[in-house]
């Protein structure tokens, strides 16, 4: 008889052991996912509910339950936590607990993101190249503002591995000046989108904007998706505009107005930045769906660096898998952000190595789309991360 340790930080070790033992891949994948560890924090629990939870979760389901006044942390395998998430399967007094646990558990990640130009497969990392056609972006301020420069940069991004080009005509950098008028933003963005679509028909284009007027114009010019860093908060017409075009929508978490998005004034999350971001993103996703955007056209973004301190951004990166509970693909945009500079001591122009590391860590935690300034600098890191996961 022999015993071999299996790594538990990801389900792939168990998955491979089951496959080697003769299980078919589908059954092995499902069983390995069910054995993966998971934990849920519950708050606002009355004493009677806490006691019922302790009895049912430990004695009946074999879960670990750690408690304090009004709260509990329930941990165990996903399969056992899924059993707790069935309102019909436990005591009536735990029905609300079951719903809360079900909403917090990771969902099966979608295999594709549907855009106005068809589905974008997500089995492998998707590199999103940043193309700022602004005179004042925080990293490449004004280098690609002229149309000819923008098109040359678009070609370079595609050659470096970008699948999607994210064209933005308004900076969201800290301390930016007054908002750019919609007409000026359209003037910067739309001709570039049109020319990219014409010259590189295989490429997908998204428009980085908070204004429905700009989104409509860019979608009409051939863009496949909209990347709204306000998550649809600042323009109530954004979601209807996306829905009417059948476009994809990136819903990013942020707080505040266009002038305060990147600051720290609204970075109070009551000690739970991850849980609060998930809850606020869920509200924005639900609002987009209510406005007509189909769920399979929505991607979520935790908004690293937006109304988040460096420590909070690092916490979100580390616990990114919590966003899987939203059931939507995850996009991350760590590229050259301040929290990478805080961690490494590097200036903004020397953070591509840290960006690559952040993207590889994000892939392992569930992200599938990666918005970066230099795709070539992160492509190998993501290829290795995907290969370790069996997707390379």
Catalytic residues: 337, 371
Rounded Cα distance, 115 and 12, in Å: 30
DSSP state of 59: I
User: Is the separation of the CB atoms in 144 and 150 below 8 Å?
Assistant: yes
With a CB cutoff of 8 Å and minimum separation 6, the contacts of 273 are 308, 312, 315, 316
Rounded Cα distance, 50 and 58, in Å: 12
| Among candidate residues 69, 11, 9, 76, the one with its CA nearest the CA of residue 43 | 69
Q: How distant, in Å, are the alpha carbons of 188, 212, 346 from that of 237?
A: 21, 6, 40
DSSP state of 226: E
Instruction: Kindly provide the b/e burial profile for residues 214-238, where b requires at least 16 CB atoms within 10 angstroms of the residue's own CB.
Output: bbbbbbebbbbbbbbbbbbbbbeeb
DSSP state of 288: H
């Amino acid at each position: 008889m022999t015993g071999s340790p299996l790594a538990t930080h990801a389900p792939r070790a168990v998955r491979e052991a089951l496959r080697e033992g003769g299980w078919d891949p589908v059954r092995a994948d499902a069983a390995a996912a069910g054995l993966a560890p998971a934990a849920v924090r519950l708050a606002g629990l009355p004493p009677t509910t806490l006691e019922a939870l302790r009895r049912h979760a430990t004695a009946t389901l074999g879960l670990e339950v750690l408690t304090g006044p009004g709260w509990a942390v329930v941990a165990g395998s996903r399969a056992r936590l899924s059993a707790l998430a069935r309102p019909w399967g436990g005591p009536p007094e735990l029905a609300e607990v079951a719903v809360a646990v079900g909403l917090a558990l990771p969902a099966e990640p979608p295999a594709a993101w549907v855009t106005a130009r068809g589905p974008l497969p997500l089995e492998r990392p998707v590199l999103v190249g940043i193309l700022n056609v602004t005179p004042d972006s925080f990293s490449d301020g004004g280098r690609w503002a002229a149309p000819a420069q923008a098109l040359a940069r678009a070609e370079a991004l595609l050659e470096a591995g970008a699948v999607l080009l994210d064209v933005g005509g308004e900076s969201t950098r800290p301390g930016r000046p007054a908002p750019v008028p919609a007409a000026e933003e359209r003037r910067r963005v739309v001709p570039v989108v049109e020319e990219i679509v014409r010259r590189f028909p295989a490429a997908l284009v998204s428009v980085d904007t908070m204004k429905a007027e700009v989104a409509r114009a860019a979608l009409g010019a051939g863009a496949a998706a909209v990347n709204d860093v306000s998550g649809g908060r600042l323009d109530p017409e954004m979601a209807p505009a996306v829905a009417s075009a059948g476009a994809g929508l990136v819903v990013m978490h942020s707080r505040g107005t266009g002038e305060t998005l990147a600051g720290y004034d609204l970075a109070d999350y009551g000690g739970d930045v991850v849980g609060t971001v998930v809850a606020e993103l869920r509200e924005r996703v639900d609002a987009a769906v209510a406005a007509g955007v189909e769920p399979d056209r929505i991607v979520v973004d935790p908004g690293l660096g937006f109304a988040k301190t460096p420590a909070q951004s690092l916490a979100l990166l580390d616990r990114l898998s919590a966003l899987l509970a939203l059931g939507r693909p995850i996009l991350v945009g760590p590229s050259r952000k301040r929290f990478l500079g805080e961690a490494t001591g590097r200036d903004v122009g020397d953070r591509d190595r840290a960006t690559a590391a952040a993207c590889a860590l994000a892939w392992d935690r569930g992200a599938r789309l990666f918005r970066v300034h230099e795709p070539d600098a992160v492509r190998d890191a993501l290829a290795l991360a995907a290969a370790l996961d069996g997707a390379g």
